[in-house]
Structure 1
Amino acid sequence: MNENVTVREVMEREFVGVSESDGVLETSELLLREEADLAVVLRGSEPVGVVTDRDVLAHLVSDGDPSGATVEDVMTESVPTVAAEETLPEARDRMSSWSTSWLVVSDGGEPAGIVTEHDILATSALGSEATAQEAMGQTASQTVADEVAAAGATATAGQTIPDEPFDDQGICEQCGSLARNLAAFNGQLLCDDCRDI
């Protein structure tokens, strides 16, 4: 895992926000429409709880009638948070201590986004791939150099052994194309074209 990557670089900046007085049915519809796992319950700009699909299901099982229920009736009042400047290992440890797969990202006391296990694992996997590619590139270059030396050949002045041409490329998570200059944007690694959309 890249130890220096901050939560701000990988978090999802868009999240579902609701108020305590919102209805459970409307909130559930909003979660489905937005394909979100949770809604942050806000009192002004202060997060005071969360509503997950599990909270709604628990209310249905215990009470059975969601028509008159409000978000305040079903929400979980504890909000696991992480500062935007904290590193991914710190966020992973915070998730582990809260036994959750997501954290609300706080920036200056206000919610700035959500970071999930998926965001952390995707960054970790990309970091591992880059390290493996670097090691493979060095090994391949060394093997070619060893073969040249073993054959008794010498390189003429100005001649170099070519680097691997694809070492600095990756797959854009939006369009799936092979691209240079991928950057984290809304929790995804995107190429220049997809970041402009």
Structure 2
Amino acid sequence: MERDVSVQEVMDREFVGVSESDDLRETAELMLDEEADSAVVMRGADPVGVVTERDALEAFVRAEGESADVSEAMTDSIPTVAPGMTIAEAADEMSALSTQRVLVSDGSELLGVLSEHDLMTASPFAPTADGPTSGGRERAVAGVSAGRGAAATEPGGEGRFTDQSLCEACGSLSRDLSPFNGQLLCADCRDI
């Protein structure tokens, strides 16, 4: 039996850190140089927010060429998870909070950042008892639904998927996937 993989094992320990008073343009340039999609906004040793590529772009468009500080663009609600949490639990938390990243903290110290990308690239493959594949074992991503047809084969499935999986349109983790026009879509993508 495979052990559960913890957040600490897959989180990104190297992250871009900036302060609230830093120039947003310089922060965006730093993010580009570091190939980071976000930066953690720090006040001393304490994280106080996150600024993402989208936050920076929105601030640039609204500022119309005027200079802006990171504090004007950052998101100040920053969900955190414990380093000992399993990646399945972290995925559930991120899905419930509708966020693409969380900070990993032991309570007193910021240890790293965990993103949806980290979860998907590091998810362990676990054997299941359902049907054979090459090598005689079925492979499934832990904490993610079996995919198409799972709801149809389960009693009471009624075309809905109960486990978390990826929306085929936007790629976000969701518990609310339904077949729509031949794809499994989250509620947001079905509404479009």
Q: TM-score range by the shorter chain?
A: 0.5 to 0.7
Kept in 2: contact 1:7–1:85 (CA 8 A): yes
Q: Distance in 2 between matches of 1:66 and 1:34?
A: 24
Q: Greater RCO between the two (CA within 8 Å, min separation 6)?
A: 1
Does the aligned pair in 2 maintain the 1:104–1:111 contact within 8 Å? yes
Match of 1:100 in 2: 99
Could you list the per-position Cα deviations for residues 78-111 of structure 1 after superposition, in whole angstroms to 9, with x for gaps in the alignment? 1121111111111101111221221111123221
| Corresponding residue for residue 116 of structure 2 | 117
1:55 is paired with a residue whose SS is helix
Name 1:64's counterpart in structure 2: 64
User: Is contact 1:102–1:116 with CA below 8 Å preserved after alignment?
Assistant: yes
**Which segments of structure 1 move beyond 4 Å, counting only runs of 4 or more?**
134-139
Matched letter for residue 29 of structure 1 = E
Q: TM-score, normalised by structure 2?
A: 0.63
Aligned residue in 1 for 2:29: 29
Sequence identity percentage: 51
State the one-letter code of the partner of 1:5. Answer: V
1:19 is aligned to 19
Shift of 1:138: 6.0
Letter in 2 for 1:127: F
Inter-partner Cα distance in structure 1 for 2:97 and 2:136: 41
Displacement of 1:135 after TM fit? 7.7
Match of 2:7 in 1: 7
3-state SS in 2 of match to 1:89: helix
Q: For 1:39, what is the secondary structure of its paired residue?
A: strand
Number of residue-to-residue matches in the alignment: 133
Assess, with a 3 A threshold, how the Cα gap between structure 1 residues 64 and 3 changes in structure 2: closer, same or farther: farther
Q: CA RMSD of the aligned region, Å?
A: 2.2
Given the two structures, how large is their TM-score scaled by the length of structure 1? Answer: 0.61
Alpha-carbon shift at residue 30 of structure 1 (Å):
0.4
Task: Tell me the equivalent position of 2:39.
Answer: 39
Can you give the 5+ residue segments of structure 1 that lack an aligned partner in the other structure?
A: 140-197
Distance 1:62 1:7, change over 3 A: same
Any idea what SS the aligned residue of 1:92 has?
helix
Residue identity in the other structure for 1:44: G
Query: 1:65 Cα shift?
Result: 2.4
CA contact (8 A) 1:21 1:71 kept: yes
More helix by share: 1
Please say if residues 95 and 103 of structure 1, whose CA atoms lie closer than 8 Å, have aligned partners that are also in contact: yes
Given that 1:82 and 1:105 are in contact with CA atoms closer than 8 Å, whether structure 2 keeps it comes out as yes
* Paired amino acid for 1:9: E
Alpha-carbon distance in structure 1 between the residues aligned to 2:64 and 2:109: 34
Which secondary structure does the structure 1 equivalent of 2:119 belong to?
Answer: helix
Q: Against the structure 1 CA distance between its residues 88 and 66, is the aligned structure 2 distance closer, same or farther, given a 3 Å change threshold? A: farther
| Structure 2 CA distance for aligned equivalents of residues 77 and 51 of structure 1 | 9
Structure number with bigger Rg: 1
The answer to whether the 8 A contact 1:81-1:103 is kept is: yes
